[in-house]
Amino acid sequence: MPLAQRLALLKPTAVNAILGEVQQFRNDGGQPVSLMRGAPDLPTPTHIVEAAEQALRAGRTGYPDNRGESSLREAVSRAIVRRGGPAYSADDEILITTGATLGLYAALGAILDPGDEVLLPEPVYDAYVSAVVQLGAAPCPVPATRIDGRFSWDPNRVADACHSRTRALLVNSPWNPTGTVLTPAEWESLIEIADRHDLFLISDEIYETICYDGHTHVTPAALSDAARRRTILVNSLSKTYSMTGWRVGFCAAPADVISAMFLVLQQSSRGPATFVQDAAVAALDGPQDCVERMTTEYARRRELVLSRLADIPGVELLRPEGGFFAMADVGSLGSSSNQIRRALLNDHAVVVMHGGAYGPSAEGTLRISFASGGDNLDVGLERLEHGLRAIGS
């Protein structure tokens, strides 16, 4: 039976595409070590797990409030303010979603008509692209410039990419895959462009707590009332509390936008399980030292990656300001990033992402994840170092 023609436009996420190759390598008897995924290996803190257990025992297994349980919307509202954001009403300016993925889906679904355009930072977290395409809209990647090893968006390029059908800027800071944390001044210039062209600013803040070397995340919604009106804040507990498998996230925006997003969301997901939402309240309202501990651990791993891969001929490590990915410039090794990735898998049993998967301006780079630590990181870095030296010789 024929399937929808629309499917031809959708692509598997880059990670999912490579997982197929990794499985084949395993089937052939290989034992790869993965430095590919953004899946933290740190356990979800105990008090959060216990809150879910208690909620389950208390019978919190029925349908949740489809907008999100009011206790969680209130906890989100408090957490946004605690982290320097503006006040949002728990009644009508917050929506609980099944991870940031569904938050992005609802945001895009609420604002895009077929033929509209969305500006995306390139290198781009590749999953944004199909989400836009699925709605009949066009993703417009705006290439970043790289200055002294730091990727950033040149405001002139962003402004030049605006057309009459441009509806939104979708920005991710800390930025996967580049590791850049946008400064308030960088946000201001994007807000100015959004004002001038009457655009929504969708701000994916999923790595907000994972910042290094004094860099801090600022939500654009905090910068002015006008910015708050344009911003759709998208976030989740996936990375902050090591809860990727719990599938719980949240959005904040003006009430009319949240109400439209809620309408979209009801057609696909009616929110995370009720007991998961109770656990999310425990995460957001409970002690936050677990978040600090995790960031300290990621900072330690980041140093490990930067030091272990520092002196490989033809390889330049870029120092991430946030998130848990480091980009390595391997452009002078003479092969495409995908060829190097394949050689690392097939000949050295280590999995990384090729920069080309995130767009042309990341071609010549590899993205190395330090979301997993311990032996996995040690062995992975050993194989990576060995592999890159061998490829370069």
Ligand X SMILES: Cc1ncc(COP(=O)(O)O)c(C=O)c1O
Q: Pick one of 176, 178, 180, 372: the residue that binds ligand X (CB under 6 A).
A: 176
- Distance, in Å, from the CA atom of 277 to the CA atom of 48, rounded to the nearest integer, reads 10
Q: Which of residues 98-157 bind ligand X (CB under 6 A)?
A: 99-101, 125
Pick from 263, 243, 238, 261: nearest CA to 251: 261
Which residue, judged by CB position, is nearest to ligand X in the bound state? 99
CB of 236 to ligand X, least distance (A): 3
**16 or 156, CB closer to ligand X?**
16
* Amino acid at the residue 239: K
DSSP 115-181: T-EEEEEES--THHHHHHHTTT-EEEEEE-EEETTEEE--HHHHHHT--TTEEEEEEESS-TTT---
Using the contact rule CB under 6 A, the part of the chain among 96-104, 144-152, 191-199, 280-288 near ligand X is: 96-104
Report the alpha-carbon distance of residue 302 to residue 358 in Å, rounded: 21
Percent helix / strand / coil, the chain, rounded to 5: 45, 15, 40
Residue 244 binds ligand X (CB under 6 A): yes
Whichever of 244 and 295 has its CB closer to ligand X, that residue is: 244
Residue number, 100 or 112, with CB nearest to ligand X: 100
Closest CB 158 distance from ligand X, rounded Å? 18
Q: In the complex, what is the shortest distance from the CB of residue 186 to ligand X, in angstroms, rounded to a whole number?
A: 17
The HSE-up count of residue 102 (CA atoms within 13 Å, CB side) is 25
Determine the interface stretch with ligand X among 17-25, 64-72, 93-101, 351-359 (rule: CB under 6 A). Answer: 93-101
* CB of 371 vs ligand X, minimal distance in Å: 9
Shortest spacing between CB 124 and ligand X, in angstroms: 9
| Shortest separation between residue 207's beta carbon and ligand X, angstroms | 7
Which among 20-28, 95-103, 223-231, 285-293 is the span making contact with ligand X, rule CB under 6 A?
95-103
For the CB of residue 96, give the shortest distance to ligand X in the complex, in Å: 12
Please list every residue from 196 through 225 that binds ligand X, using CB under 6 A: 204, 206
Maximum Cα–Cα distance across the chain: 62
Q: Does 44 bind ligand X (CB under 6 A)?
A: no
CA torsion angle 77 83 85 87 (round to 10):
30
Pull the structure tokens for residue 321.
């300001």
| Span interacting with ligand X, options 27-35, 72-80, 97-105, 338-346, rule CB under 6 A | 97-105
Question: In whole angstroms, how close is the CB of 243 to ligand X at the nearest point?
Answer: 9
The order of strands in the sheet holding 138-143 is 94-97, 249-252, 231-236, 200-204, 166-172, 117-122, 138-143
Contact call for residue 365 and ligand X (CB under 6 A): no
- Give the total of residues touching ligand X (CB under 6 A): 13
Residues from 12 through 41 that contact ligand X (CB under 6 A): 38
Instruction: Give 171 or 381: the residue with its C-beta nearer to ligand X.
Output: 171
Nearer to ligand X, 101 or 242 (CB): 101
Residue closer to ligand X by CB (options 83, 348) is 83
Could you tell me the CA-to-CA distances from 286 to 53, 72, 220, 298 in Å, in that order? 16, 12, 25, 21
CA distance 82 to 87: 10
Q: For ligand X, give the closer residue by CB, 172 or 209.
A: 172
**Under a CB-based contact definition with an 8 Å cutoff, are residues 340 and 329 in contact?**
no
Residue 240 or 337 having the CB closest to ligand X: 240
Assess contact for 115 and 165: CB atoms under 8 A: yes
In this structure, are residues 263 and 95 in contact, taking their beta carbons and an 8 Å threshold? no
Three-point CA angle 269, 207, 213, nearest 5° = 175
Q: b/e per residue, 171-186, with b = 16+ CB within 10 A?
A: bbbbbbbbbbbbeeeb
Select the residue interacting with ligand X from 173, 203, 219, 236 (CB under 6 A).
Answer: 236
- Tell me which residues touch ligand X (CB under 6 A): 38, 99-101, 125, 172, 176, 204, 206, 236, 238, 244, 249
